[in-house]
Every structure is written in C-alpha cells, then in structure tokens.
Amino acid sequence: MVSLRVTFPIHNRSNLTFCFLLLTFYFPILLSASTSHSTVDVRVLELFHPQEIRVIAKRDTFFVQLKNSYLSINGKKGNVFFQKDEFLIVEISGKIERKFNGTLKIYPGENEIIIVNRVLPDDYLASIVGAEMGDAPFEAQRAQAIVSRTYLYKNLKRHKHYDFCDLTHCQVYKGKEAETEETRKAVEQTDRIVLWNGNKIADIYYHSTCGGQTADFTSIFEGTTECLVSVSDSNFCKDSPHYRWEWKLSVEEAPFVEIRVATRAPDGRVTEIDADGEKEKGWKFRMRLARQFGWNKLRSSWFTVKKNETYFHFKGKGLGHGLGMCQWGAKELTKQGKTAEEILKHYYPKLLLGIRD
C-alpha cells in the first residue's frame, strides 16, 4: 500500500486546497515519512500518584487499590485491570474525577497505580486542543490541532511503556473534560495535516507566551536546527498574564550567593548564567529553579537579575522555552483575522504544511 504525502507552502486555506488538489492530481506517488497509528497510549492522573481509585463504567463500578506489588479489584487480587466502554470515569477520592474515551489499562507501579488511557488520535487531539488553547478563537484552535498532531506523530513512544503523559512534559490531556464541539471541529477540519521539515515530520515545539520574540533553537537546547528560528512577535501576546513578570527570591532561600548573566542570545534569552563562579546553561538554570521553587516563579530564560541585601530581583518576559508557536500570540493573530495557516507560517517560516496518511 502506498502512503501519500503532500507538502505545500503555508498560506491561506484556498491556496492550501488548491495545492493539495494540484499535487494529488499530477504526482500520484509521493514519499511518506510515517506509518499509520490507530491508537495513542496516554498515562493519566500521574500527578496524583494514586494509591486507590474508583472506575465507573457504563454498567459497573470497580474499586481498585494498590496492595504492595499487586492490585485489589473489588476485593480480588489482580496484576492488570482492563476496562473498555462507551465512556469511563476515573475518580481519586477528594482530588479529581475525570472522564475518558477509549480503554483503560491499570496496573501496579512503584508505590502508585499506573493508569493508561488507550484512545483514538482524534479523541486525544480534541482534548489536547481544549486543554492547551481553552476557549481560544477558532483559527487558533485549528493551528493548535495541526501543531499537536505534528507533535503526536513525531514523538510516539516518548515514554518507555506508553506514548505520552498527560502533563506539560508531553501535551496537556484532560480526557473528555477538555473536549468541545469546536475542538472536535478544529481536529476534523485539519484532518491529517501536519508540519513537515523536508521529507520528515517536523520536530515541533510550542509554548504559552514568548514575551515579544520567539526563541531560536540554539538559545534553549544544544545542537542546531535550521527549522526552528526566532521570529518577532511584536506585542501579540501582551494580554498574557506572563507577558511581563517579576520574582523576588530571598537571599536566605537562594541556592547561590552571587549570580550574573554571562551570555545572552540575540533573541533575549539567557544562554549562560554564572552562579558562584560556576557556569550553567540558561535554560537548565531556569528548569532547576522552577523545580525547586515552582513553575510560575522563574517563568522563562528571558530575564535580568539584580541583588540587594534581602533578595535577588528577577524581571522577565514570557512563559516557557519560547520555541515555535506562541499560544497567546496565536490567539491575538486570530483576532486580527489571520487563518491557522497564516499563524503557522509566521511561527514556523522554515516548515511546510502537508498531508500525512
């Protein structure tokens, strides 16, 4: 079976349709860089490290508890629990209740229950678009659907025993809770469209708020790539609560005595920090402090820092690594009348849209 793959410049929807029809008609056999994947395995509710859960299916309710290295399922010992139904509810008492499409696989992990939701890609994406973009204008949702689909097929099996987690480490996934009629429509209208880097599905990134300029790949990670470059975002993401921020870290709490910015990239990001005479990559420094003090403290690697007698005063721009599509910027561009294709062209000028079969 030949898998058809078509790429075309990112312009507007009419150009997109025309190019697709033109290439399909005149080039009947084109290379494809991927194979079909009928389901996605997502580990869910990991953040809560559950010891016991309740699973509500259409006709039955199951109480699942972790007992040493095995599960107790309605009082009976088991190693793995499967459940498939029209809809499933997982409840962690006093913490969260969430609905899921597809199938659940539940098994004992190290001191916690592991819950994996096997779901169709379109169901997964409809939830991702809602969780990542919320009630954003529709064209921003379409752009998110394309970017998230690209991420999905580029990063399958990101984790050893399942494809993705449901956290920002992969993509935020909330099951049926985040789905809406609009998010499903956004997924359907962009069916099979992904971003391509030459003959390969692009290694894609996106983030909440760029702060006015997206990041170049080399500002964040080691190595080089020509497909993720810094672009001016003007003040498109100015409505984000993270557009500008400040954080005061007390001298007593700080894991360093002295600190200075050693080098900074043209896009504004700190590429190297000097803390007590030790050099560290700017993004690694940001991640280390975020893990210690919280993700909404040092929100990006685009910051300045000054010290006085009582605290280190950080002033910064944006939230996240700053690579690729700025979600708050995409919302504003939609309000200005831009299509999803135009939004993606802005944030990924080196990439092409194409059909994945």
Domain assignments of the chain as residue spans, ordered by start: 6-36+121-204+324-355, 40-119, 209-320
As beta bridge partners, residue 245 has: 316
- The first and second tokens of residue 174, run together, are 């909330």
- The first and second tokens of residue 141, run together, are 């949702």
**Cβ proximity of 279 and 272 under 8 Å:** yes
Return the higher-pLDDT residue of 224 and 72: 72
Q: Strand pairing of 40-43 and 164-165?
A: parallel
Token pair 């003040």: residue? 235
Give the single-character DSSP code of 276.
T
Nearest to 334 by CA among 97, 71, 138: 138
- The first and second tokens of residue 51, run together, are 């010891």
What is the mean pLDDT of the segment spanning 29-51? 73
pLDDT category at 224 given cuts 50, 70, 90 is: confident
What is the mean pLDDT of the segment spanning 83-108? 92
**Cβ proximity of 212 and 237 under 8 Å:** yes
pLDDT category at 27 given cuts 50, 70, 90 is: very low
- The first and second tokens of residue 117, run together, are 């939701």
Distance in angstroms (rounded) separating the CA atoms of residues 310 and 270: 23
pLDDT at 13 over 50: no
- The first and second tokens of residue 353, run together, are 């849209």
pLDDT category at 184 given cuts 50, 70, 90 is: very high
Q: What is the pTM of this model?
A: 0.88
Helix axes 327-335, 138-154, angle to 10 degrees: 140
- The first and second tokens of residue 239, run together, are 């409505």
Amino acid at 151: Y
- The first and second tokens of residue 102, run together, are 């597809």
Average of per-residue pLDDT values in the chain: 90
**Cβ proximity of 148 and 124 under 8 Å:** no
Pick among 3.40.50, 2.40.10, 3.10.450, 2.60.120: CATH of 40-119: 2.40.10
